[in-house]
Amino acid sequence: MNLVVIGSGYVGLVSGACFSDFGHDVICVDKDESKIGQLRDGGVPIYEPGLDDLVRTGIKSGRLRFTTDVHEAVAGADAVFIAVGTPSRRGDGHADMVYVHAAAQEIAAALTGFTVIVNKSTVPVGTGDEVERIIRQTSPDADFTVVSNPEFLREGAAINDFKRPDRVVIGGDDQRGLAVMREVYRPLVIGRSTVVEMSRRSAELTKYAGNAFLATKIAFINEIADLCEKVGADVLEVAYGIGLDNRIGSKFLHAGPGYGGSCFPKDTLALLKTADDFDTPQRIVEAVVNANDRRKRAMGRKVIDVLDGDVRGRRIAILGLTFKPNTDDMRDAPAIAIVRALQDAGAQVHAHDPVGMEQAKKVLSNVIYHDDPYDAMDSAHAVVIVTEWDSFRALALPRIKSLLLQPVMVDLRNIYSRDIVEAAGLTYYAVGR
Residues in the chain: 433
Gap between the Cα atoms of 44 and 55, Å rounded: 8
CA 226 to chain centre: 25
Annotated catalytic residue: which of 18, 28, 228, 263? 263
Gap between the Cα atoms of 60 and 78, Å rounded: 22
Annotation says 28 is catalytic: no
Q: Give the sheet arrangement for strand 408-411, strand by strand.
A: 368-369, 348-352, 315-319, 382-385, 408-411, 427-429
Burial of 36 (0-12, 13-18, 19+ CB in 10 A): buried
Exposure b/e, 396-419, CB count within 10 A at least 16 = b: ebeebeebbeebbbbbbbbbbebe
Exposure b/e, 154-172, CB count within 10 A at least 16 = b: ebbbbbebbeebeebbbbb
Which residues does the annotation mark as catalytic? Answer: 263
